[in-house]
């Protein structure tokens, strides 16, 4: 068994335990394997171990991997690629052409570009709105107060399909504090559905806090290090 295969197996058990603890069915929570900084071989190993959905933060790096994986026509079926990193206008064309999902939409302008640039013949781009529940000023994400208007506008774009919300709160101290932040995202999710949206994806939780996210109602955890191992320290641009 490869390390990645063993990690995935352990992680699936961890998610199942978190679901049991929360009185939820394990089938309600899917796993997005975050492969940023790891090469195509790591993705292939995870794919061979049954993992199908992968997340990338950096557009250029993600597209290179998508193309590399596409060439080596996978024996275990197609991969679903999710863009989960902050998006700049000059990257939307690449994202619209190569990814299946974008979870980090937080401005209408970006959503409009993605819809316009989605190539004909591809299914609509599946979209989550990133919401900034804890008000961190430097962080990406739409403010909760601006969320309903953004959701309404995005849901009208022809080549996007609004699926839900994504949230990356600041690390909080302990399970209860983490859960409280995630519950704010859950409340916004419920409010939108009460207002008539049909959202089915609440993307909450990473390697260190997925139990709290599952307890708060997450339907998709985004896990990097617990699948692929620790990432190399980020190289600074000054180097």
Ligand X SMILES: *Cc1c(COP(=O)(O)O)cnc(C)c1O
Q: Which residues here bind ligand X, judged by CB under 6 A? A: 34, 36, 57, 84, 168, 206-208, 222-226
To the nearest whole angstrom, how small is the minimum distance from the Cβ of residue 104 to ligand X? 7
Please say which residue, 16 or 206, places its beta carbon nearer to ligand X.
Answer: 206
Please say which residue, 96 or 128, places its beta carbon nearer to ligand X.
Answer: 128
Residue whose beta carbon is closest to ligand X: 224
To the nearest whole angstrom, how small is the minimum distance from the Cβ of residue 206 to ligand X? 4
Please say which residue, 10 or 198, places its beta carbon nearer to ligand X.
Answer: 10
To the nearest whole angstrom, how small is the minimum distance from the Cβ of residue 194 to ligand X? 27
- DSSP label at residue 107: S
Please say which residue, 8 or 226, places its beta carbon nearer to ligand X.
Answer: 226
Helix (H) or strand (E) segment spanning residue 201: strand 201-203
List of E strands, 28-158: 30-34, 53-56, 80-83, 101-105, 125-130
Residue 59 in tokens? 């557009």
Backbone angles phi, psi at 29, to 5 degrees: -120, 120
Cβ neighbors of 131 (< 8 A, separation 6 or more) are 106, 141, 142, 143, 144, 147, 165, 166, 167, 185, 188
To the nearest whole angstrom, how small is the minimum distance from the Cβ of residue 128 to ligand X? 11
């Amino acid at each position: 068994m490869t390390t990645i295969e063993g990690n995935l197996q352990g992680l699936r058990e961890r998610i199942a335990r978190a679901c049991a603890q929360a009185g939820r069915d394990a089938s309600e929570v899917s796993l997005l394997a975050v492969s940023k900084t790891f090469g195509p071989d790591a993705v292939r190993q995870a794919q061979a171990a049954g993992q199908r959905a992968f997340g990338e933060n950096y557009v250029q790096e993600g597209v290179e991997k998508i193309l590399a994986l596409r060439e080596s026509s996978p024996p275990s079926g197609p991969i679903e690629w999710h863009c989960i990193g902050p998006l700049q206008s000059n990257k939307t064309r690449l994202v619209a052409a190569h990814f299946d999902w974008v979870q980090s939409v937080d401005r209408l302008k970006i959503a409009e570009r993605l819809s316009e640039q989605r190539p004909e013949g591809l299914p609509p781009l599946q979209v989550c709105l990133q919401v900034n529940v804890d008000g961190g000023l430097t962080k990406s994400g739409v403010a909760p107060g601006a969320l309903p208007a953004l959701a309404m506008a995005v849901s009208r774009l022809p080549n996007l399909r609004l699926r839900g919300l994504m949230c990356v709160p600041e690390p909080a101290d302990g399970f209860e504090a983490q859960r409280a932040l995630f519950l704010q995202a859950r409340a916004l999710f419920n409010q939108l559905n009460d207002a008539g949206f049909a959202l089915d994806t609440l993307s909450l939780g990473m390697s260190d806090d997925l139990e709290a996210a599952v307890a708060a109602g997450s339907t998709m955890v985004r896990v990097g290090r617990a699948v692929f191992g620790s990432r190399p320290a980020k190289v600074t641009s000054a180097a």
